[in-house]
Each structure stands twice: as C-alpha cells, then as structure tokens.
C-alpha cells in the first residue's frame, strides 16, 4: 500500500467521526427496538424543510426523513408514499455489501486485502484475477467491469474478464458486487442475504420489504433491496454510530470505517459507499452526484445512492441522517436531480 493511499484512508476515517453520546435507538424491555423518534405530519411542522420537500416531491419523491442527534426533525411522504411502504433502493443496495464485508472481517471469514482467488480457485491461473483483493472488488477497482443494470448471475460474474490491472481504474457496475455475493456464498456455505440478516438486520430489528433475486436464485448484491425510509434511517444510525446498536457492538468499528477510505483511482468512493470528496468520479452523466466545486460544504457526508435518486446521506460530524426515496416511473420526465442543490436546501433552510 502506498503512503498516499494510506494517508487518504486514515484521513477519511478521521473525518467520518461520530458524535459519541447521541443515540436514536429506543430500548424496549430486554431486546432492542430501533427506530427514529416520530415527528408530526409535514403539514403540522414548521416550514424549515419546505423547500427541500418541494424539490424532492417535484422529482417524484415519495419519502423525506431528516434526523439530527437522534431526533426526527422532518418526515414527509408525498403520495403514493407512506411510513410503512418500502421502496426499491436501486444501487443504494450496494452499500449493504460493504457493511456485510466488515462483519465478515470481524468474524474472520475474510480480510480486506486477501486475494479473492483464495475463495475462487478458478481465478488462480489468471495473471490479473489472481491478484484482485476483496478491497479491490468493493472499491470497484478490481479491473472487472460490467453493465450498470441487469446484474449477471454469480457464475456469470465470476467468468467476467479483468480488462485492467487491479487498482488501476474505477469502473462502476454491477458485476463486482455479484462476484462478492459468490465469495460470501462460498464463505458462509449459504445465502449471503441470510448472513446479512443475521449479523445486521435482525439485531437492528429492520426488515427489507423485498429483495430481488437472479435466475440462479441468489440475491442481487448491487441493487434490488426494498426498505421503508424509517428502516433505512435505522441502518444509517448504526453506521454513524460505528457499528453499534445501543450498548452492543454489532460490527467492529475499525472494520466498518474501512468502508469510508477512498481508493487512489476514485477519491470519492470507498468500499461500496460514495464519499463527497474532491476528485469524486460519478457513476455516469446525469447521476446528480456533485463534483469538486459543488462539494463545498458537504465533504463530511458519505452517501448510499441509487437510480430514481434514492439517497441515504450520513454525516457523523453533524450527527445527521437524511433519507430520500423516489419513484422510477416517469423518471425521464422529472426535473434533473442535484445532490448539491438538495443538500443546500436541507442545510441552509
């Protein structure tokens, strides 16, 4: 590892530092019932977030939830949204894989810098693939690309060629996450989603409303999960708190914070999470993700993001969670989305 990359990883983890004494978890009896404090309906709330709510609704928004310091400041569900209705997160699903990997690191199922070929023997004779690490795969710098939509099956993903040297180039796409799914399938001897549920979702008392699967019956890792805004925010709370749920450390903090260390190929992407940092390379044109000049004032945020402008924004520095979900239908007719403009409305209102 170069000194430059090491310095960036340390700096990124330090910047994403939680407010240690704030919690939004509600303890019920001997178990954990985790949920944000419920706010009054949007019509009964002050107009502080009205402009942001209008901006979201005009772009097919169905949910907007703002939680600061464990307190829900704003909650709004334009039709056909609702607090109990789940919406597909699209590529917002990807960020679950980084957390799954961090749990697996804690459980000693894998290490960030182990060669994937240790688990995938069919890669051992390929001069490029045999040097690809877990970190390379989840930072999208493995050299294995692929389409953004329509994830391949796990077997198809494993067969995809490596067209670049590991670490050389950032390539946004679905294939690396399906490769990771196959690695976890072999590591756990079962369904990767079952592992994620047991290690993270069940202890947080959150449930996906649905999760799409491929022709091979395996869960899609890059997209396809559905969550309510409230449950997605609980997951965000757990991430802000460094892998803790109340007094329980579900995932080792050091392992989790590795998800927010940038790669040399893309300073704006960690391990399955977007980092709003200078030099960010977006997934493609029209994604709405800010770059350089538009990042001013937002560099403390990390983000899970998906098509339809599904967003989970997290800032440990501000102890702030923002969930925004939207519909896919009619997306081409909706006004263009800008994360920078939306965050300015949230933060400056």
The whole-number average pLDDT for the span 165-171 is 96
DSSP 152: P
* pLDDT higher than 50, residue 221: yes
pLDDT confidence of residue 243: 98
Determine contact, residues 146/157, Cβ cutoff 8 Å. Answer: yes
| Structural domain span for residue 118 | 3-348
Query: In the predicted model, what is the mean pLDDT of residues 67-96?
Result: 96
Query: Looking at 100-114, 145-159, 179-193, 330-344, which range is the least confident one?
Result: 330-344
Q: What is the CATH number of the domain that holds 292?
A: 3.40.710.10
Provide the pLDDT for residue 207.
97
Q: How far apart are CA 155 and CA 123, in angstroms?
A: 12
Total domain count, the chain: 1
Residues sharing a CB contact under 8 Å with residue 254, sequence separation 6 or more, in sequence order? none
* Least trusted range by pLDDT, from 41-45, 125-129, 202-206: 41-45
CA dihedral 56, 62, 68, 74 (to 10 degrees): 90
DSSP class per residue in 215-244: TTSPBPSSS-EEE-HHHHHHHHHHHHTTSE
Read off the pLDDT band of 39 (50, 70, 90).
Answer: very low
Provide the pLDDT for residue 294.
Answer: 86
Q: Is pLDDT above 80 for 280? A: yes
User: Residue 181 pLDDT more than 50?
Assistant: yes
Which residues fall within 8 angstroms of residue 326, CB to CB, at 6 or more apart? 56, 59, 60, 61, 62, 87, 308, 309, 310
Helix (H) or strand (E) holding 138: helix 134-138
> Is residue 24 very low, low, confident or very high in pLDDT (cuts 50, 70, 90)?
very low
Average pLDDT over every residue of 257-268: 97
Total residues found in the chain within this entry? 349
Distance CA 23, CA 245 (A): 9
pLDDT tens profile 155-165: 999 999 999 99
Q: Which residue has the higher pLDDT, 21 or 13?
A: 13
- Tell me: pLDDT of 186 over 90: yes
Say which residue, 286 or 165, is predicted with more confidence: 165
pLDDT score at 150: 87
pLDDT at 20 over 60: no
């Amino acid at each position: 590892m170069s000194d430059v990359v090491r310095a960036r990883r340390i700096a990124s983890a330090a910047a994403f530092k939680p407010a240690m004494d704030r919690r939004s978890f509600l303890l019920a009896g001997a178990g954990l019932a985790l949920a944000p404090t419920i706010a009054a309906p949007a019509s009964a709330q002050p107009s502080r977030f009205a402009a942001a709510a209008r901006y979201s609704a005009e772009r097919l928004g169905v949910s907007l939830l703002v939680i600061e310091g464990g307190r829900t400041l704003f909650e709004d569900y334009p039709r056909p949204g609702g607090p109990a209705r789940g919406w597909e997160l699209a590529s917002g699903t990807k960020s679950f894989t980084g957390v799954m990997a961090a749990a697996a690191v804690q459980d000693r199922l894998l290490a960030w810098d182990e060669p994937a070929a240790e688990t995938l023997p069919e890669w051992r004779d390929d001069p490029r693939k045999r040097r690809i690490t877990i970190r390379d795969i989840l930072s999208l710098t493995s050299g294995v690309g692929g389409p953004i939509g329509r994830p391949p099956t796990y077997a198809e993903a494993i067969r995809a060629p490596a067209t670049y040297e590991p670490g050389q180039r950032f390539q946004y796409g679905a294939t690396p996450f399906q490769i990771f799914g196959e690695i976890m399938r072999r590591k756990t001897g079962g369904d990767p989603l079952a592992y994620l549920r047991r290690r993270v979702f069940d202890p947080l008392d959150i449930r996906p409303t649905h999760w799409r699967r491929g022709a091979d019956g395996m869960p899609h890792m890059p997209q396809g999960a559905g969550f309510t805004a409230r449950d997605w925010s609980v997951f965000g709370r757990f991430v802000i708190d460094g892998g803790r749920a109340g007094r329980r450390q579900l995932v080792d903090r050091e392992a989790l914070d590795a998800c927010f260390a940038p790669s040399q190929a893309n300073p704006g992407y960690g391990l399955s999470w977007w980092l709003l940092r200078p030099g960010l390379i977006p997934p493609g044109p029209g994604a709405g993700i800010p770059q350089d000049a538009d990042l001013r004032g937002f560099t403390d945020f990390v983000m899970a993001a998906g098509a339809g402008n599904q967003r989970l924004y997290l800032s440990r520095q501000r102890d702030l969670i923002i969930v925004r979900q939207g519909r896919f239908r009619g997306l081409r007719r909706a006004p263009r989305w800008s994360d920078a403009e939306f965050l300015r409305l949230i933060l400056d209102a």
